[in-house]
């Protein structure tokens, strides 16, 4: 495959940045999107140029490190997939692909396609601890969890914190991320003691970071690599009311 790439290049957070055109040749349809960028970077390094900086770690779709806007969609055209699990067979020979970093004021660009997602870490930190006994492993049946509750909690816990929800949201809202994180603990018995304070503290941190508000556009669930439902945002809203007035 031969592809034209328009990639956002930005030296650091304070420089303006611009698109640079590249052409890559001999791309196998079985390569992942990141492997395609590796091919480009190897050539750039050989030519003595600065390679394109992008975040990646596990390349198995489970760590949440990679992520970029591919033709205007977070993680690209394939639903329920991280950038590293998107394969070049989903593109056509001769395609032009526009690659841009995730954009939100809360996610400043560090370099090229790498953005700073520490805001998410601060939201997690604001959530605090859960009261569980340390020491030897507890007896497995001492805290019983209904199958349906375990399943729902797991759907929320599948969030890998990649930031695609914020990136794709026209409002740059972190509602889906915060909802998933709050839901996965608030649904389970282990999360009950700190339920209210966790909800309020995480929401306060979300506001303080400067994320946008939810307009129920549902763009977040459309690009979420773990296909987390906006139903969790409804849950978040309900938890918020309960945390204030229960």
Partner 1 sequence: MKISYFYSTPIGKKIVMAVTGIILFIFVLFHMLGNLIIYSGPERYNGYAEHLRKLGEPFLGENQFLWIARTVLLIALILHIHSAWAVSKTSWDARKKPYHVYSPVQLDYAARTMKIGGVIILLFVIYHLAHFTFGFSWAHPNFIKGDVYHNVVVGFSVWWVSAIYIVAQLALAMHLYHGLWSLFQTIGITANKKRDWRRNFAILFALLIAIGNISIPISVLLGIVK
Residues that bind partner 1 (CB under 8 A): 8, 19, 69, 71-73, 79, 98, 100, 103-106, 168, 170-173, 203-204, 207, 210-219, 222-223, 229-231, 233-238, 240-241, 244-245
Other beta carbons within 10 angstroms of residue 95's beta carbon come to 14
**Half-sphere exposure in the Cβ direction for 153 (13 Å, CA):** 14
CB of 106 to partner 1, least distance (A): 7
Give the CA radius of gyration of the chain.
Answer: 20
Distances from the Cα of 136 to the Cα of 61, 115, 142, angstroms: 32, 39, 13
CB of 197 to partner 1, least distance (A): 14
**Judged by CB, which is closer to partner 1: 55, or 209?**
209
Name the residue among 22, 54, 49, 23 with its Cα closest to residue 38.
Answer: 54
Instruction: Output b/e per residue, 72-85; b: 16+ Cβ within 10 A.
Output: ebbbbebeebbbbb
CB of 142 to partner 1, least distance (A): 31
**Judged by CB, which is closer to partner 1: 48, or 170?**
170
CB of 111 to partner 1, least distance (A): 16
What sign for the dihedral angle of Cα 126, 198, 117, 119? negative
**Alpha carbon distance, N-terminus to C-terminus of the chain:** 59
**Judged by CB, which is closer to partner 1: 135, or 170?**
170
CB of 239 to partner 1, least distance (A): 8
Residue found by looking up tokens 């990639």 in the block? 7
**Judged by CB, which is closer to partner 1: 37, or 172?**
172
Which tokens sit at 11? 């030296």
CB of 42 to partner 1, least distance (A): 26
**Judged by CB, which is closer to partner 1: 108, or 161?**
108
**Judged by CB, which is closer to partner 1: 51, or 77?**
77
What sign for the dihedral angle of Cα 31, 36, 39, 42? negative
């Amino acid at each position: 495959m031969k592809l034209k790439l328009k990639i956002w290049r930005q030296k650091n957070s304070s420089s303006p940045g611009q698109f640079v055109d590249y052409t890559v040749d001999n791309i196998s349809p079985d390569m992942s999107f990141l492997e395609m960028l590796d091919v480009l970077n190897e050539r750039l390094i050989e030519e003595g140029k600065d390679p394109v900086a992008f975040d990646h770690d596990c390349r198995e779709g489970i760590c949440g490190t990679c992520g970029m806007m591919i033709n205007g969609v977070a993680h690209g055209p394939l639903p329920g997939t991280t950038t590293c699990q998107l394969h070049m067979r989903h593109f056509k020979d001769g395609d032009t692909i526009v690659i841009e970093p995730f954009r939100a004021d809360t996610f400043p660009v560090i370099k090229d396609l790498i953005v700073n997602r520490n805001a998410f870490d601060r939201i997690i930190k604001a959530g605090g601890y859960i009261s569980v006994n340390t020491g030897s492993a507890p007896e497995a049946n001492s805290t019983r969890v209904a199958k349906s509750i375990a399943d729902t909690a797991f759907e929320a816990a599948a969030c890998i914190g990649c930031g695609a929800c914020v990136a794709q949201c026209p409002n740059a809202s972190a509602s889906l991320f915060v909802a998933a994180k709050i839901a996965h603990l608030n649904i389970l018995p282990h999360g009950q003691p700190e339920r209210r304070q966790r909800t309020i503290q995480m929401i306060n941190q979300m506001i303080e970071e400067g994320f946008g508000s939810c307009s129920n556009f549902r763009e977040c669930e459309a690009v979420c690599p773990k296909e987390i439902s906006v139903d969790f945002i409804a849950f978040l809203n309900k938890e918020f009311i309960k945390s204030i007035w229960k």
